[in-house]
Amino acid sequence: MTTTGRLLAAALLTLLASPDSRGQQPPKEPPAESKPDQAKARRPVRSSRPGMYKGRRIADVMSWQGAEWLFRETRVEEEQPEAMLDALKIEPGMTVADVGAGAGYHTVRLARRVGEKGLVLATDVQREMIDMLKDNVRDAGARNVRPLLCTQRDTKLPAGEVDLILMVDVYHECTNPETLLDGLLAALKPGGRLVLVEFRGEDPQVPIKPEHKMTLEQARLEVEPRGFAFKTSHEFLPWQHVIVFEKPLTSDAPARPTPPQPSGSPGGDPKP
């Protein structure tokens, strides 16, 4: 089946199931919480709820049946993917991992940036997403992408070989954050970066359900104790944090998380 065929099939299944993608609400509509009947009717197709972690409710994994939402027409305006990648200063020849890549929305963009001598490792826990990703990569003519079917406990990434790991609207769905973060840290080169792009939990105006948002403080609370150093949070996107962590240059450097300081701005840190 072609990529278009897969996405049309996914759209039909999604329409029949009435999913709400990642919980996004239509513009100018009251929050779903205030309309219980409609919220129930718009519930997405997801796995059973896995539980809590450090005071945060872990979101259900977005089903492959909602993949068409990843390619919605408004996404460029809402998330500005090219501007986000510009801020990360990805260079030709890098090895980059797109973790939770879905159908490859960012994978193809990363492939162009790392060039023929670079490599994109695109992982997802759903085989259907990987199949759609392969179609999209092939249609884009990208020959420097390696699709990998991973699990929640095994990243499938090579140890110590990755320059940058990108997770866009994914980390908050991971059922075992500590195991995941340990695996990501092992995959990075010393000085390599982990980037979490997450909808701002500090801002009630961001039209996403609370469990699909994260505050900067919560992200640091979870990531830094696993051995990562916080570097910065880019706050120029309309709705999302771009949170950058780094693997220490020396493997024996102890993790010394710095408690996040409160800020008057919704994003925590100021714009770069």
pLDDT tens digits, 118-161: 999 999 999 999 999 999 999 999 999 999 999 989 999 999 99
Domains of the chain as residue ranges with CATH: 73-246 (3.40.50.150)
| 86-94 contact pairs (CB < 8 A, 24+) | 87/234, 87/236, 87/242, 87/272, 88/164, 88/166, 88/193, 88/195, 88/242, 88/244, 90/114, 90/164, 92/117, 92/118, 93/117, 93/118, 94/118, 94/119, 94/163, 94/164
Tell me the C-alpha distance between 222 and 202, whole Å: 16
Provide the whole-model pTM.
0.77
Taking residues 219-226, what's their average pLDDT? 98
Q: 151: Cβ–Cβ under 8 A, 6 or more apart, which residues?
A: 125
Task: Give the tens place of pLDDT for each residue, 28-55.
Answer: 333 333 333 333 333 343 444 459 999 9
Tell me the C-alpha distance between 55 and 60, whole Å: 16
Tell me the C-alpha distance between 40 and 44, whole Å: 9
pLDDT of residue 152: 85
